[in-house]
Structure 1
Amino acid sequence: MNAIPDGSHFRVAVVVASLGRPQLVAQMHHLMQEQTCRPDLLVFSVVSDADIPAGYQDQPDVQVLRGDKGLCAQRNRGLDHLGDRYDLIVFYDDDFVPSKDSIDRIKRFFAAHPDVVGATGNVIRDGIKGPGIPLDVARDLLAKHEKKDFSPNCIVTSLEGLYGCNMAYRASAIGECRFDERLRLYGWQEDIDFASSLSARGRIVKTFAFSGVHQGVKYGRTSGVRLGYSQVVNPIYLVRKGTMSIGFAARLIVRNVLANHARALRPEPWIDRAGRTKGNWIAARDILLGRVLPERIEAL
């Protein structure tokens, strides 16, 4: 009988882009130390020392990179630093809380599925859709999930793109491919674009093999106007680029624009619906004028 591959030979690097949230950098470092199988390298890609805890120093298995602002630019800085020294590259949002066996299960999953080049794990609860999830609540949710042992090492479905808070890639498939830095600042839909650009090299999938909770921490995020602009312009830009289907883009735009307008008078306390609505209309005007420029959010 053939042994089940455990991926123990894989070298894993974790890349975390962060801006203005040093508490979450410290939190992620601690969470990676708790892993049953720690990553070979943890990279924090930030803009300045203000983004990391006071007195924080590089360690043998932790590297801090500083440079230009923007999710795509910061992730690219991590990829450039890693080169071809690692087999698997995991991208976590700084407010993602992975289960303690996530790195081990990522290795096992990619060993068992050699045709997969990118995978997003199971987000048990996503605080981005609400007021956010405190760390103690996230830990409790994970503890209850782990008791069920519901982590089959299988593919749930193929996807057009992955969810950026929790995604892993085979480094050999990434090669020289990079995140599109025209998607500035928060880089809305950069995860779909990046995954789609690699889809010709292998399968892009969702799996329950590894899990976590996305806290959805609200501070330090893009303004409502800028996000509202990106909600309309970015999907159209990606359709033109060829990394997002027209149907997917249309659903994305319609869903967000309708939600912003429907809730503008009675917005959720944690969402700037008025700002997003304004951004939607600025984007509509630019598109009518023939301007599909995702980078324009920096001028808003």
Structure 2
Amino acid sequence: MTACDQIPALEPSVAVIVASLGRPDLVHQFQDLMARQTSSPDMLLFSVVSAADLPSGLEESTRLRVVRGSKGLCAQRNRALDWLNARFDIVVFYDDDFVPSKFSIEHIRAFFAEHPHVAGATGTVLADGINGAGISYDEALQIVRGHEERGFAPNCIVRELRGLYGCNMAYRTAAIGEHRFDERLRLYAWQEDIDFAASVGRNGRIVQTFAFAGVHRGVKLGRTPGMKLGYSQIVNPSYLVRKGTMSHRFAARLMLRNLAANHLKAFRPEPWVDRAGRVKGNWIGLFDLIRGRLTPERIETL
């Protein structure tokens, strides 16, 4: 029997956090997806701003809670972490438009039990609609079911990572400790997942695994407007370099790639992308960078 085939003797407890804003239909769908899990999470926690973010009829229980407060991905996730107060062994962060395999929670438990030195892991994204028009709910379910039928979910570490993909990441609570998401990264909080993983990664390995999987639909409703995102594409990596959670090389490559994509595609933009807004935001960010003004929170006033 290999290390990938061993069955852990003890199953860690799991809490799932979903931060959402203005997308009650997705919250309802995600509640259904968690109900279909072969091993239910010990806690499903929705972090929202107001009742308008929730579907009608959602009822809290001992395994489903809602916390409310100020908007912003980092603030909403931090509020959820504070509410959980380290009562569960594993914390899973899902985007509200992520469609996980029905085996995900079961396999997350097995993975962390088998790999005690792992602080955080991201699963396999079977398809990602973030760089396209998006993936419908029905299509995402079809992709996930096809993956489940293949039965490919080895309980192994694939590779070490510098950061996890925020739509689908799980952390050992003991490794999180007092670390929190940086609330200077406002609204959509671009690159918050890299920053958080770099902080928590001081307490263990940050890895990718095939053990759990799903589809990121990339739903466009409720996402950060083009100019704000364009600004974050320049300022956020620069800010994280100064903070020490992102390397100069990685940040430079990230900024140049987005600058090039936004400018080249601005002449024939995709219907679902505000390229002109991103270009404008890029240049505002560059001028702030030249002036030494690394203020990621400025996107709230643009």
TM-score, normalised to structure 2, is: 0.97
The one-character-per-residue Cα deviations of 1:19-41 (angstroms, maximum 9, x if unpaired) are 00000000110100000000000
TM-score, normalised to structure 1, is: 0.98
**Equivalent position of 2:168 in the other structure:** 166
Q: CA deviation at 1:5?
A: 3.9
The one-character-per-residue Cα deviations of 1:67-117 (angstroms, maximum 9, x if unpaired) are 010000000000000012100000000000000000000010111111100
Q: CA deviation at 1:8?
A: 4.6
Cα distance in 2 for partners of 1:224, 1:84 equals: 36
Equivalent of 2:76, from 65, 74, 77? 74
Cα distance in 2 for partners of 1:15, 1:6 equals: 24
**Equivalent position of 2:35 in the other structure:** 33
Q: CA deviation at 1:290?
A: 1.6
Cα distance in 1 for partners of 2:8, 2:101 equals: 18
2:130 aligns to what SS in structure 1? helix
**Equivalent position of 1:249 in the other structure:** 251
CA contact (8 A) 1:43 1:62 kept: yes
Matches for 1:270-289 after TM superposition, within 5 Å: 270-289=272-291
**Equivalent position of 1:221 in the other structure:** 223
Count of aligned pairs:
300
CA contact (8 A) 1:7 1:107 kept: no
Q: CA deviation at 1:60?
A: 1.8
CA contact (8 A) 2:156 2:210 kept: yes
**Equivalent position of 1:120 in the other structure:** 122
Cα distance in 1 for partners of 2:40, 2:59 equals: 19
**Equivalent position of 2:140 in the other structure:** 138
Q: Any gaps of 5 or more consecutive residues in structure 2?
A: none
> 4+ residue runs of structure 1 moved beyond 4 angstroms?
none
The one-character-per-residue Cα deviations of 1:190-212 (angstroms, maximum 9, x if unpaired) are 00000000111110001111000
Return the letter of the residue paired with 1:267. Answer: P
Cα distance in 1 for partners of 2:154, 2:6 equals: 13
CA contact (8 A) 2:226 2:274 kept: yes
Cα distance in 1 for partners of 2:174, 2:271 equals: 43
1:183 aligns to what SS in structure 2? coil
Percent sequence identity over aligned pairs? 64
Supply the RMSD in Å over aligned alpha carbons. 1.3
CA contact (8 A) 2:11 2:113 kept: no
The reply to whether residue 178 of structure 1 matches residue 186 of structure 2 is no
Cα distance in 1 for partners of 2:81, 2:47 equals: 10
**Equivalent position of 1:148 in the other structure:** 150
Return the letter of the residue paired with 2:151. Answer: D
Greater shift in the superposed pair: 185-194 or 139-148: 139-148
